[in-house]
Amino acid sequence: KRKSLFVCRNKNACPERQTNAGELGGDDAQVQRKLGKNKRLHPSDHGKKRSRRTCKTNPLVKGEITERFVPPLVTDSICKKKKKKKKKRLKRAEAELAATNCAYREAKKLLKIAIQRSKRTCWKELISSVDADPFGKPYKLVMRKLRGPPPTASMEYATLQTVVDTLFPRHQERTDGPLAPADPVVPFTALEVDAAVERAGSKNKAPGPDGLTGKILQAVHKAHPNILLDLYNSCLRSRTFPAEWKTSRVVLLKKGNKPDGVPSSYRPLCLLNDGSVVGPLLWNATFDTVLRTELPGGSKLLGFADDTILVTWAKSTQELEAVTNEALSLVERRITDLGLQIAVEKTEAVLFTSRYKYTQPAIKLCGSDVQLSTEMTYLGMLVDKSMLFKGQVKKAAARAAEIGNQLARIIPNVGGPREDRRRLLLSVVHSVLLYGAPSWAHTLELVPGNVRTLNRGQRRVLLRCVCAYRTVSEAATNVIASTPPADLLAKEREATFDRRRAPVAPSRDNDPRSDTMEAWQERWSTEEKGSWTRRLIPDVRAWCARSHGLTTNFHLTQFLSGHGCFGQYLHRIRKLDNPGCVDCLAPVDDAEHAFFRCDRWWRRRMELKAAINDPFTPETVVGKMLESRSNWTAVVQFVKEVLTQREAEERERQRQE
């Protein structure tokens, strides 16, 4: 056995064989001479420059000698074959790994495509169901109204019974009989029943659990007047408390991270049945004593449900402070007598004044100071101290825009529900946008910014309603959608509210809708934007009053707005380099050229002229469409044919580019 010395430079330099000094050259030969005649260098150090730096992984430096046994049978050929085998093994592993990765990536890509295709198919099925049920599952999904099952849904029956028995322990039934009334029972009269039935029939409210509406009760009473009278008097004489009034809906609310199935982990709520009028009736009878409180001069008390508002006025701050504190003390005392508590932290106070400089009054309630703020929210309306309702309009517009973005998912431009269902969903946005309009519509003339905010929020939804591009102007969108601007609708609601509260019966001549249409027509005639739409539809009254063609579509909206697959429009949005026509090489390809001038469609235009029996011009086309349903269908079919062919060619051109 022989021992060989070698230079250890790093941790990866493992000796496998010895090398003679004659096989080395340059620096390797110098090292070999230092090692001695019978000392051989490890082959891993062949051709490598010697470093004078200390190796970070090994403290040995150049020239440090260590001993290690190397088998003498390891030759150069064996070492080369071993290296060659190792390289082949690595290459084979890399090839197998590359093939496996390629197959994995291809399978992953196919899976992603299949998932996307399935999502699109399911979403189209959901959207197609909007026509049958506008407020069904698609509406609830985009509006985030779908909720998971209650905690009791996953509980076993025995566990649920234990929780209910613990939260609602059973008591022994009373053995004493009913108390006899001190005064004789006065039966109901026919006039009282008639009045009650008349009130129930005049209200268009949802029925209760029995499914009987006020109209049904009114019809029954009209056919058999004595049935309800005898029924109510029998209940009164027998002193029967209906079992339905004793039945409540129990809702269990989970407390944080409490364990499941434990009675103390749930908070029970007992709710009255839907449609019950007993709760509001008893509350009104109880709280009416508060509203009838005698207040000092310069104060007034208003209430809706449990929201109470005190309005006071005076000419000076000192007088206003005295009147307000006195009125608050009276109201506080009356509410406390009823066993109710006032939430001082929820109390808001706003000072309305036209003075630039003023002293704030000191308002106290239940011994605590009430801080004055610049705005307050009452019944969902934001009232600011300037009474210009800027915050309310911005708040409503922001909420309407949010709802519009959510509804846009189920009312796409291409496909989706028909227009009447789109208009029904549009009413959701209008109900939010115009909430409380009779209270703030008069400020629109004082604050032009409110008008712009309202109409901007309405336009976003109308674009989806008529399947229009987002570049269509606000005025043109309203006309195509047959919907007056939001500010005119707000004024119309204000006029309708004032008309209903007028002491004299309003005449038919003073119709708020007529005033709205007249103001809209005047604005449309002087509008700078939407010139092509105004050229086609000069009269908004005739357009909105049409009896057929009540629905528009994606292609008809392009024809009416001038924004669509036209060279000029595509050049404007930087889709084309040239605004000219690719068919007849006209310098400008707009909606008028595409439908009324282009030589490519001359034969189809001649057929359309014969169908509508009139010249086909921009000034007369809409008038002929409104004359008959056949004319409407003929024009719509022509527009669809032209734009469908143009869109297919444009998609092919973009695909080639």
User: What's the pLDDT tens digit per position in 151-204?
Assistant: 777 788 888 888 888 888 877 766 665 566 667 778 889 898 888 888 887 777
Q: What is the pLDDT of residue 587?
A: 92
pLDDT tier at 21 (50, 70, 90 boundaries)? very low
Q: Are 461 and 473 in contact (CB under 8 A)?
A: no
Does 397 share its domain with 480? yes
609 occurs within a structural domain = yes
Does 473 share its domain with 572? no
Does 569 share its domain with 517? no
pLDDT tier at 31 (50, 70, 90 boundaries)? very low
Does 356 share its domain with 454? no
Count of structural domains, the chain: 3
Does 334 share its domain with 399? no
Q: Where are the beta strands (DSSP E) in 63-209?
A: 65-68
pLDDT tier at 59 (50, 70, 90 boundaries)? very low
Give the Cα separation of 377 and 392 in Å (integer): 9
Does 298 share its domain with 367? yes
624 occurs within a structural domain = yes
Q: Are 588 and 568 in contact (CB under 8 A)?
A: yes
Tokens 């129930």 belong to residue: 200
510 occurs within a structural domain = yes
513 occurs within a structural domain = yes
**pLDDT tens-place string over residues 265-301:** 888 887 765 545 556 777 777 788 888 888 888 899 9
Distances (CA, A) of 420 to 134, 343, 428, 549, 650: 10, 46, 13, 11, 31
Percent of the chain with pLDDT over 70: 83
Q: Which two tokens stand for residue 385?
A: 């101290």
pLDDT tier at 41 (50, 70, 90 boundaries)? very low
226 occurs within a structural domain = no
**pLDDT tens-place string over residues 221-235:** 888 888 888 888 888
Alpha-carbon dihedral 83, 85, 90, 94, rounded to 10 degrees: 140
Alpha-carbon torsion (240, 241, 242, 246), positive or negative:
negative
**pLDDT tens-place string over residues 604-637:** 999 999 998 888 899 999 999 999 999 999 999 9
Does 487 share its domain with 612? no
What are the CB-based long-range contacts (under 8 Å, 24+) for 611-619?
618/532, 618/535, 618/536, 618/592, 619/535
DSSP code at position 548 = S
101 occurs within a structural domain = no
Which domain, by its residues, includes 323?
Answer: 285-373
- Domain edge (last residue) among 345, 373, 401: 373
Q: What is the pLDDT of residue 39?
A: 45
Distances (CA, A) of 418 to 11, 401, 540, 557, 563: 76, 21, 22, 14, 21
Does 292 share its domain with 399? no
What are the CB-based long-range contacts (under 8 Å, 24+) for 442-447?
442/494, 443/387, 443/388, 443/389, 444/487, 444/490, 444/491, 446/388, 447/388, 447/389, 447/390, 447/393
Does 355 share its domain with 452? no
Q: Which two tokens stand for residue 639?
A: 């527009």
Q: What is the pLDDT of residue 101?
A: 81
Does 401 share its domain with 525? yes
Mean of pLDDT over the chain = 81
Q: Which two tokens stand for residue 547?
A: 């009896």
Tell me: pLDDT of 478 over 60.
yes
**pLDDT tens-place string over residues 380-415:** 889 988 889 999 999 999 999 999 899 988 888 888
- Domain edge (last residue) among 344, 373, 402: 373
- Domain edge (last residue) among 373, 397, 421: 373
CA nearest to 362, candidates 419, 317, 410, 400: 317
DSSP code at position 19 = B
449 occurs within a structural domain = yes
633 occurs within a structural domain = yes
Tell me: pLDDT of 7 over 60.
no
Q: Are 221 and 200 in contact (CB under 8 A)?
A: no
Does 517 share its domain with 398? yes
For residue 568, with 0-12 CB atoms within 10 Å meaning exposed, 13-18 middle and 19 or more buried, which class applies?
buried
Q: Is 440 left (phi over 0), alpha (psi -120 to 50) or beta?
A: alpha
Does 361 share its domain with 396? no
